[in-house]
Amino acid sequence: MNIAFYKYQGTGNDFVMIDNRTNTFPKSNTNIISNLCDRHFGIGADGVILIENDTEFDFKMIYFNADGSQTFCGNGGRCAVAFAKKLKIIDLKTNFIAFDGAHFAKIENEIISLKMIDVEEIKVHENSVFTYTGTQHHVELVDDLDLFPVYEEGKKIRNSYKDPGSNVNFVEQINTTTFRVRTYEKGVENETLACGTGVTAVAIAMHKIKKTTSTLISLPVEGGNLEVSFTEENGVYKNVFLKGPAKAVYNGNITL
């Protein structure tokens, strides 16, 4: 089977994008997903995103981690919006459905603002915060993020959580509104250059533990800069928006 694909990236988080509105892609075969994401023997990506038709929304986004597991991905969601515009499914605004529910997004000057789910349950521990922003996230403040062993420590913490585990975000505070983030992602099982649900979790966690009073947070990641805004009322975080670029890298065909 010959499949047309596009490669997109959002602050270095990269994805194989496939138009599956004809439902021809063998999405039940996780080996194919893993092979597409393999950086040595496949296209190479953090995940695979399928765009499909939906009866109630503009489109359906299906996201697979590199190991074939399904979840939601914030940067993937922004790339899905850019890809849907490329396919002329949408123009500058959209409502789509994904693994964690419905999402609204808009495109302004090539920057995509994606509305994330509301966040209510936030578990504050002595040295970390845990929450769900479309997938599971552990957030931990550290000193000297440049030298911190993200892979080694991230792997340990990721596996300390019960199945399906947790993404792990290590955070260094830069100032009252800026937090630098490095993330170990489950499903990829490595550090990635960015994680959209991760920086969302960080922004909310830092506000929750009063490291910031701002509701607009800047989040430098290894692949660029992201921004998260929200409103908070009685401990519930709503109107959560993840904002950043999403760009096409190349396209081609691959034989499965």
Residue 79 is a catalytic residue: no
Catalytic residue among 37, 81, 107, 195: 195
Whole-angstrom distance, CA of residue 23 vs CA of residue 241: 30
Residue 97's DSSP bridge partners are 60, 102
Whole-angstrom distance, CA of residue 241 vs CA of residue 199: 11
Residue 181's DSSP bridge partners are 171
Residues 6+ apart with CB under 8 A from 39: 45
Whole-angstrom distance, CA of residue 239 vs CA of residue 115: 7
Residue 195 is a catalytic residue: yes
Catalytic residue among 45, 49, 73, 203: 73
Strand-strand pairing, 129-132 and 60-65: unpaired
Query: Which residues carry out catalysis?
Result: 73, 195
